[in-house]
Amino acid sequence: MRQIRMTVNGARHEAEVEPRQLLVYFLREGLGLTGTTVGCDTSSCGTCTVLVDGESVKSCTVLAVQADGWDVTTIEGLAQNGVLHPVQEAFHLNHGLQCGYCTPGMVMAAVSLLAENPSPSEAEIRHALEGNLCRCTGYQNIVRAVQAAAAS
Amino acid sequence: MAVTEEKTETYIGAPVARKEDAKLVTGQARWVDNLTLPGMLWASIVRSPHAHARIGSIDTGAAKAIEGVVAVLTGGELAGDWAGPLPMVWPVTEDTKNPPHWPLATDKARFAGDGVAVVVAESRAVAKDAAELVEVDYEPLPSVTDVARALDDGAPLVHEELESNHCYTWPLEGPEEGATERAFADAAVTVKERYRQQRLIPSAIEPRGVLVQPSPAEGEFTMWSSTQIPHIARVTLSGTTGIPEAKLRVIAPDVGGGFGSKLNVYAEEALCLALARRLGRPVKWIEERSENHVATTHGRDQIQEIELAATAEGKITAVRVHITTGMGAYLQIITPGTPLLGAWVYAGAYDVDAYQIEFVGAFTNTTPTDAYRGAGRPEATYAIERAVDALARKLDMDPVELRRRNFIREFPKTIASGLTVDSGDFDASLDRALELLDYEEARREQAERRERGDATQLGIGFSTYLEMCGLAPSRILGAIRYAAGGWDAATIRCLPTGTVQLLIGTSPHGQGHATTFSQIVGDRLGIPFDDIEVLHGDTAVVPLGMDTYGSRSLAVGGVAVWNAAEKVIGKARRVVAHGLEVAEEDLEYEGGRFTVRGTDRSMTVKEAALAAWTAHDLPDGMEPGLEGSYVYDPPNFSWPAGCHIAVVEVDTETGAVDLRRYVAVDDLGTVINPTIVDGQIHGGITQGVAQALFEEAVYDDAGNLVTGSMVNYLVPSAAELPAFELDRTESPSPTNPLGVKGVGETGTIAAPAAVMNAVADALSPFGITDIEMPASPERVRRAIEEAGR
């Protein structure tokens, strides 16, 4: 077991973890933050995307011990004081989700994109979200949601 | 008492934002994997790496020796736990072969991924570690994975006792015997085409999961499962496990996509129940993606032969079809029946005189097939729409003109296969789609590129599909040997504070049922959208239901909701008439308010609900409370139709196919929520495009699934797709009071044919008429090379 420290959604945590534990399982099972979901075992689907220092990271590609000292934001940390983040709001208003399983990862990837590029073109949005799979929406309303969030 | 807001808007037809979203965008959903119970154990399945192998000894010693392992059980050791095999409820013929399918294999593994043992441990990681230490002595056997070879002489036998891999032969001919043969004998023109429907992996982004909580003292079990069918799972798993139906509660919590792959009753559900019963502790199993690829049902897998007979003017007179369809190694819940869901619509939107079709089901050493979005109808649409293009080529006729010469134009129309199409206007959707596309301009650009020998060629492909959905009239289901009915049930309960609960027997996995049903209830009863709570997916809360598949939730469930609301209104009218001391006939009803004709005296449904609850002054003999229930059995299927047009660019040097435009004009009857309907169409088209261009489950010669992960099974991302251009025409269904039709499968049904017709159109200068799906760069480039260019 290894000792790690991590700031998650503004709260500081210290924990003992198995060296082989993935960050996503530390978040879900260690901290009870089940908003971040697991959709594959090959880092293909992107449902587990979180922000590390504001940049999107697939939390299944990182060991919890590697994240020692990191500042992580999960979907639970996005809304502030009960007010949805503009990207969350835009997904809701533009029907950018159906079953919602990919949504936490998709929202985090979109937040990261807009931080880098505040007014992306449709092609840039589609390219930036390439690592996040959705099986329900055909992406059309996800793209629309990101455009709306960019405009807001 | 809290007073609720007054309703001010009309909901039906409005793009109301979904009430489901708040928890989903904030990470508060309740997926099975988010549930944890005290004392919970984890199960991990040991799966055969061989496509076909005799199971010898199984050494569980090393696995049991790991700290935290609670039990390791083989198929043989669990054999006594079953009251019956896993369910198959659609034996399509009297002699359909259904070899017993046990939750774990005992004698042989019959596909790569077949479960042979299960480990139960204190944690997810320990269960998985231990599963890897179970030593199974396999004797590999020759295997067959290709459905086209399954019925060959000398093919390896999946089930030796059957003496062949034949599962069933199911014929249909209409309107009378011999008509098809006569039509072909008299035909001026015929075409015969052969298509392959590759195997697909449904790939819901949430893998499956099961959690069972036993209550040993009472012999009761609660099972949370990522399922589309909690009610069907309950009745059938009672049969598999011997747990009395009344002691089994099944809950489908938030479910992350299904697409038919969760329309099933799976080994892991039975196993978790049996293990929880043995161990007296909660047991959880969560599927990994690589497991999902082998252990969750696949779709399609057919070899199709279709022949059209036509006059010299292009009037199609007869359709004759032969399908060989892969069952996989076992029959899951509706494996044999799934291809037959297309059996009535292989003539598409066209008015033909004669129709003959035969399906032959065959076992292979592969993951069982079953429903995948569209289930039988994408295959049917593909065959007829591609064959119509082949006929157009033979007649040297524009494919649009040929379609127009054959459309059904009078409704209701009993088609040659024997069912009755409720309503439609196929010209209207075709006209609108052509207009959106600017067909003439597209053909002009195509001609220019051909003329100058451009390396990038343009193709335009049509799919003027006709779909049957809204499963289904119970009598018809009985006549085709399905074991249950096709009704659904709704209860509307008006609470004394003015809010309303709707209990509905279909449960969603992304479709936005709570929103759509709230729109119906809200308008009908005059209740604000936010004051309606929709309950579903729990057999203890909603005991009656037939669950979610076949685009039925609105076309069947939604009509049950409407009719339940009518019952509430009927009782409220009696309460109000009594309260206002007038005759019922003197009351006018609109939008939740009863008004005494010619006066301003009125009372609302909400007020009636309170009066019915206090029951201080009800008519003599009336039961207190205001609620209404309705079980709706549809008199017919619903029949969406429309026109989808794909425009592709094919790079003839690299073989790459780029979907440049996609125009879809659908006729779905009355639309309750256009935003949700558009979303269904977008997602459906995407899965159809994926079949045409990207996805294929591939087995190697040894029977291994090569596409075992999302790395090599290519679920498309946003980057591979254009924005789709949608519009609608509207022919309300005359068979239900809402006028609605189903929408969940439409896009997937229409799209593969449109895209592949476009690919073939782009390659026609090379003399190429067909590319197998998916039209990968390799396949396209090879076809061009073989064509000598």
Mean pLDDT across B441-447: 98
CA distance B694 to B271: 34
Contacts of B127 (CB under 8 A, 6+ apart): B41, B42, B43, B44, B69, B119, B120, B121
pTM above 0.90, yes or no: yes
Query: What's the gap in Å between the CA of B528 and the closest CA on chain A?
Result: 19
Mean pLDDT across B581-597: 97
Give pLDDT tens digits for A102-129: 999 999 999 999 999 999 999 999 999 9
The verdict on B682 touching A (C-beta cutoff 8 Å) is yes
What's the whole-number average pLDDT of chain B? 97
Q: Does B6 score more than 80 pLDDT?
A: no
Mean pLDDT across B454-471: 98
**Cβ–Cβ gap B21/A126 under 8 Å:** no
Query: What per-residue string of b and e applies to B2-40 under the rule 16 or more CB within 10 Å gives b?
Result: eebeebeeebbebebbbbbbeebbbbebebbbbbeeeeb
The verdict on A131 touching B (C-beta cutoff 8 Å) is yes
Q: Does B5 score more than 70 pLDDT?
A: no
Model confidence at B7, pLDDT cuts 50, 70, 90, reads confident
Q: Where are the beta strands (DSSP E) in A38-84?
A: 49-52, 55-58, 71-73
8 Å CB contact between B681 and B751: no
Which residues of chain B are within 8 Å of residue A29 when distances are taken between CB atoms?
124
Tell me the two tokens of residue B480: 């085709």
Give pLDDT tens digits for B525-574: 999 999 999 999 999 999 999 999 999 999 999 999 999 999 999 999 99
8 Å CB contact between B350 and B408: yes
Q: Smallest Cβ distance to B682: which of A122, A132, A137?
A: A137
CA distance B415 to B407: 12
Provide the CB-side half-sphere exposure for B537 (13 A, CA): 21
Tell me the two tokens of residue B556: 């069947």
**What pLDDT is recorded for position B4?**
52
Query: SS3 of A114, please?
Result: helix
Model confidence at A70, pLDDT cuts 50, 70, 90, reads very high
Which residues of chain B are within 8 Å of residue A25 when distances are taken between CB atoms?
124
Give pLDDT tens digits for B128-145: 999 999 999 999 999 999
Give pLDDT tens digits for A7-40: 999 999 999 999 999 999 999 999 999 999 999 9
Hey, CA dihedral for B68, B74, B75, B78, is it positive or negative? negative
pLDDT-above-90 percentage for chain B: 99
CA distance B470 to B554: 8
Chain B (325-354) residues lying within 8 Å, Cβ to Cβ, of chain A? none
Phi then psi for A102, rounded to 5 degrees? -85, -10
Tell me the two tokens of residue A92: 């809701």
**What pLDDT is recorded for position B501?**
98
**Cβ–Cβ gap B256/A125 under 8 Å:** no
CA distance B131 to B259: 30
Query: SS3 of B399, please?
Result: helix
The verdict on A24 touching B (C-beta cutoff 8 Å) is no
Give pLDDT tens digits for B292-324: 999 999 999 999 999 999 999 999 999 999 999
CA distance B731 to B716: 33
Three-state SS across B510-571?
A: CCCHHHHHHHHHHHHHCCCHHHEEEECCECCCCCCCCCCCCCCHHHHHHHHHHHHHHHHHHH
Which residues of chain A are within 8 Å of residue B254 when distances are taken between CB atoms?
99-100
Which residues of chain A are within 8 Å of residue B288 when distances are taken between CB atoms?
41
**Omega within 30 of 0 (cis) for the link into B412:** yes
Which residues of chain A are within 8 Å of residue B510 when distances are taken between CB atoms?
98-100, 136
Whole-complex ipTM:
0.98
The verdict on A60 touching B (C-beta cutoff 8 Å) is no
Q: Residue B782, Cβ neighbours under 10 Å: how many? A: 13
**What pLDDT is recorded for position B2?**
43
Mean pLDDT across B665-681: 98
Mean pLDDT across B8-28: 96
**What pLDDT is recorded for position B701?**
94
Phi then psi for B769, rounded to 5 degrees? -115, -15
**What pLDDT is recorded for position B1?**
38
pLDDT-above-70 percentage for chain B: 99
Q: Smallest Cβ distance to A136: which of B29, B257, B678?
A: B257
Tell me the two tokens of residue B476: 């018809």
Q: Residue B453, Cβ neighbours under 10 Å: how many? A: 9
The verdict on A130 touching B (C-beta cutoff 8 Å) is yes
Mean pLDDT across B357-372: 98
Which residues of chain A are within 8 Å of residue B206 when distances are taken between CB atoms?
37, 39, 99, 101
Length of chain A counted residue by residue: 152
Which candidate in B20, B24, B28 is best for mutational testing of the A interface (most A CBs within 10 A)? B24
Which candidate in B16, B19, B20, B21 is best for mutational testing of the A interface (most A CBs within 10 A)? B21
**Cβ–Cβ gap A100/B28 under 8 Å:** no
Which candidate in A31, A59, A98, A143 is best for mutational testing of the B interface (most B CBs within 10 A)? A98
**Cβ–Cβ gap A99/B204 under 8 Å:** yes
CA distance B228 to B232: 9
Give pLDDT tens digits for B278-289: 999 999 999 999
Cα separations in angstroms, A136 against A110, B298, B301, B507: 17, 17, 22, 16
**Cβ–Cβ gap A88/B724 under 8 Å:** no
B689 sits in which H/E element: helix B674-693
Q: Does B3 score more than 70 pLDDT?
A: no
Give pLDDT tens digits for B205-215: 999 999 999 99
